[in-house]
Structure 1
Amino acid sequence: MHIISVGLNYRTAPVEVREKFTFAEKDLPRALRGLMDTKSIMECVIVATCNRTEFYAVVDRHQLCGHYIRSFMERWFGLSREEFTNHLYMYEDEKAIEHLFRVTSGLDSMVIGETQILGQVKQAFLLAQAEKTTGTVFNMLFKQAVTMAKRAHSETMIGESAVSVSYAAVELGKQIFGSFHKKSVMILGAGETSELTAKHLYANGATQVIVVNRTYERAASLADKFNGTAYSMEEAISKLHEIDIMISSTGSDGFVISREQVQEAMRRRKSKPLFMIDIAVPRDLDPSIAAVENVFLYDIDDLENIVQSNLEQRRSEALKIEEMIRQELAAFDQWYRTLGVVPLIRALQTKASDIHMETMDSLTKKLPDLDEHEMKVIRKLTKSIVNQMMQDPILRIKEMAGEKHPEEAMDMFVKLFALEEQLNQSRQAEDVKLEDNAETIKSALGHKQTPVVTAVPVFAHP
């Protein structure tokens, strides 16, 4: 078995390509079942967001599975592979697992350390579970990835510093006001960044919102989002003394607010602090306004510097998460290596149990005068002897499965304890079970191909 990840994201594909590979939420269950129908795929999860579309799969032949998944993408999205192959990446085994850990913890995000992707991966996994497209491997791997990401965000400061202009503006405002409770905001212009900054301020307690724009209808539309008021520029100037925060991004060729206008407003507001954010290029607010007492003026460069500084802090915290990922990779590898040992241990336990039962039957025949209590004591003591005899071999084979060349150790284990018969019986029983399950699933889903129910083969290791 092998684990692979095939996908495209904001680094490898522009938005005009990514938007061709989106899934409607209602279509994802059918897509998962269709992917499970793809040859060689034993388990699968689809992670689809605005910045990435990724297909995770447990496969039995990694050399061809990239081809099979690309074929699925061609069929599902109705595109020829020539249109998207150059935008795809593919990771195998340890690299695929590491990639999942990086995605879930936010290290692979456009905004490093963001937490939204964690919820998106978790939902993708839960949906795959509900559609029965995950099994032993992905049930463990995705739970481990989600748990590690939660720990990464709780044990580091990667998500605590602002890394967008809008968040940086809010962070600055908190330093000045402490709280935005009942603070009033004026927005000059109705651009995306201005709107986003106003949204964050409003969510943090700012109440009154005034929107000013050359097109009154657009100003009114934005004002409605915050239960605010739309004003003309002339009206806005007369309201300067009533506001606490100004966000400006008008696209004007010259200054729209002068130092004199701000000085007059400050006299009327009795020098209470005024927080002004100039996001426009060229600037809307006269830079000399910064000299007015109790006025805190910041332009786009000031905010970008804060963002870059905070990004550096996040990158520093990311190094701690990278170490967590290395530890999680080792833990998953250790668990994965032991999967092949499970059938061997079961076979040994089965053989020991059969020998014990035969011995007790023989004892009953040879000592027919033993009463029920005596038989119970003997059965308990002999079973204890058997279990103690098996304890060390089981412990050793688990340890050896985590070392190099585990196949040799497990092959020797089978030969030493003569477990071939028990393993064959187990495989035959599993084959019958898989056939029954496959027919049930095929009947229920109406598939042309039968989804493969995950069965961990002996000696499984990527």
Structure 2
Amino acid sequence: MRRDTIVLLGVNHKTTPLAVREKLALSSGYEEPLRALQDLKEVREYYLLSTCNRVEILFTCQNVELAKARVLERLFTSAVSAEDLNQHIYQHVNDDAVGHLFQVAASLDSMIVGETQILGQLKEAYRHAAKKRCTGFILNKLLHKSFSVAKRVRSETRIGASAVSISYAAVELARKIFGGLDGKKVLLVGAGEMAELAAEHLVGQGVTEVVVANRTLQRAVDLARCYNGRAVALEELLDQLQQVDILISSTGSPDLILRKEDVRPVMRERRNRPLFFIDIAVPRDLDPAINDLDNIYLYDIDDLHNVVEMNRSERDKEAIKAKRIIAEEQLKFGKWLANMESTPTIIQLRAGVEKLVRAEVEKTMGRLNNMEEMDRQGLEKMIAAITGKMVYHPLSYLKTEHHCISLHDRIKTVRDLYQLDSSDNDQGPA
């Protein structure tokens, strides 16, 4: 009678470096890895999520450790060593798995807290799993619940309203200057954490293209791939300036990488179309004198710090509200799971009692099918009413919380009293 365990395994930007996340990412899409899990007898239902910042597997099973080993072996052992996998993988079970999923959906676990992109990624991953019928009764309910939790957090808090990182503030500033980022092209100079944070938010704001320039081209390629962008060498910087609208620079260079005299001819080629520079590097990447050129707007990290500090306390307050909402919804889902554990007993009890009542009625009145329609309907209502009255008290006992008696013990009591596990119970409960 024990219900399946809900298990969530994963890696994310908090636990695992990008070099390892890249190897675990489902770069070929969901089709192949979903198919790879189809014949695992240890797993009942399953769902996969893969983004640039996380890879997570959600599944139900009876034996957690065995199912975990089989899932990881099937999906990842060819990509990373067992040592790396065990070092970085996190595991959540049942209530903790539910809470983690709700936090991910509500973007409390995102690199940029409050961003909206993750919910779309969750829904897209669910569509793939549902299409292949990998999810079932429990995970369908859980995933749909995670979507509604995210919606509730978004509508009841202002979790996404305030920029709380330098990269986030930079993108918000760009959005305000241009009145929106739809159709804009962005050049990220540098491929470190700051650039990764900026790219995460830029994509969510609707930019048309992300170009990444970095001294190490492979690093630029890796970051650009995450956002369907393209990579260029740092030596191509001036050529790229002719095409983009926004440049965000965050390299570790000890010297300026762009000077006023470098940019002046670029503006002639652009026919003085506005160009927005954000320098979030320390020391600075961009010559402050660039700001003297017409139709160029240059902001550095000091310009962004004030915005961030004002917004940080407001975001913290909203995060507290969001966590309270998630805790409420987690509790509700936990009760649904607990009630589901008693469902087989409820169905069996009701069916057994109805069978007994029907047998006694037919013994006295004859076969119901041989009666007039009106009489037959009247007797059907009577059978349903008698059944409802007979099962009312045991069902109330199962459904009402008792501080001293666990649900498992209450289920066992009802099954023992009504002999639901008896081999000779085909005549219904005694």
- TM-score normalised by length of structure 1: 0.67
Counterparts of 1:54-133 in structure 2 under 5 Å? Answer: 54-75=56-77, 77-133=78-134
Equivalent residue, structure 2, for 1:330: 331
**CA contact 2:11–2:89 (8 Å) conserved in 1:** yes
2:350 pairs with 1:349: yes
Structure 2: segments with no counterpart, 5+ residues:
208-233, 265-274
Equivalent residue, structure 2, for 1:142: 143
**Residue type of the partner of 2:86?**
T
The CA distance in 2 between the partners of 1:42 and 1:142, in whole Å, is 16
* Counterpart among 30, 33, 58 of residue 32 in structure 2: 30
Task: Write the deviation string for residues 131-162 of structure 1: whole angstroms up to 9, x where unpaired.
Answer: 22212211111111111011111211111123
Task: Write the deviation string for residues 367-416 of structure 1: whole angstroms up to 9, x where unpaired.
Answer: 9x986644543443343233233234323312248985211111111122
Counterparts of 1:231-246 in structure 2 under 5 Å? Answer: none
Equivalent residue, structure 2, for 1:48: 50
Q: 1:402 to 1:94 in 2, by over 3 A?
A: farther
* Counterpart among 227, 235, 240 of residue 221 in structure 1: 240
**CA contact 1:158–1:318 (8 Å) conserved in 2:** yes
Work out the number of aligned pairs and report it: 377
Q: 1:424 to 1:299 in 2, by over 3 A?
A: farther
**CA contact 1:255–1:286 (8 Å) conserved in 2:** no
Look up the SS of the partner of 2:109 in the other structure: coil
Q: How far apart are residue 69 of structure 1 and its match?
A: 2.8
Q: 1:345 to 1:79 in 2, by over 3 A?
A: same
Counterparts of 1:264-413 in structure 2 under 5 Å? Answer: 278-279=279-280, 281-282=283-284, 284-286=286-288, 298-365=299-366, 373-374=374-375, 376-400=377-401, 405-413=406-414
The CA distance in 2 between the partners of 1:169 and 1:301, in whole Å, is 11
Q: How far apart are residue 421 of structure 1 and its match?
A: 4.6
RMSD in angstroms over aligned alpha carbons?
A: 4.5
Look up the SS of the partner of 1:351 in the other structure: helix
Percent of paired sites with the same residue: 31
Look up the SS of the partner of 1:31 in the other structure: helix
Q: How far apart are residue 320 of structure 1 and its match?
A: 0.8
The CA distance in 2 between the partners of 1:100 and 1:320, in whole Å, is 17
Equivalent residue, structure 1, for 2:216: none
Q: How far apart are residue 297 of structure 1 and its match?
A: 6.9
**Residue type of the partner of 1:219?**
L
Equivalent residue, structure 2, for 1:4: 7
Task: Write the deviation string for residues 413-444 of structure 1: whole angstroms up to 9, x where unpaired.
Answer: 1122232359987xxxxxxxxxxxxxxxxxxx
- TM-score normalised by length of structure 2: 0.71
Q: How far apart are residue 19 of structure 1 and its match?
A: 0.7
Look up the SS of the partner of 1:84 in the other structure: helix
Equivalent residue, structure 2, for 1:158: 159
Structure 1: segments with no counterpart, 5+ residues:
205-214, 227-244, 262-273, 426-462
**CA contact 1:94–1:329 (8 Å) conserved in 2:** yes
Look up the SS of the partner of 1:38 in the other structure: coil
Look up the SS of the partner of 2:400 in the other structure: helix
2:18 pairs with 1:15: yes
The CA distance in 2 between the partners of 1:256 and 1:420, in whole Å, is 82
Q: Which has the higher contact order (CA 8 A, sep 6+)?
A: 1
The CA distance in 2 between the partners of 1:186 and 1:47, in whole Å, is 27
**CA contact 1:278–1:285 (8 Å) conserved in 2:** no
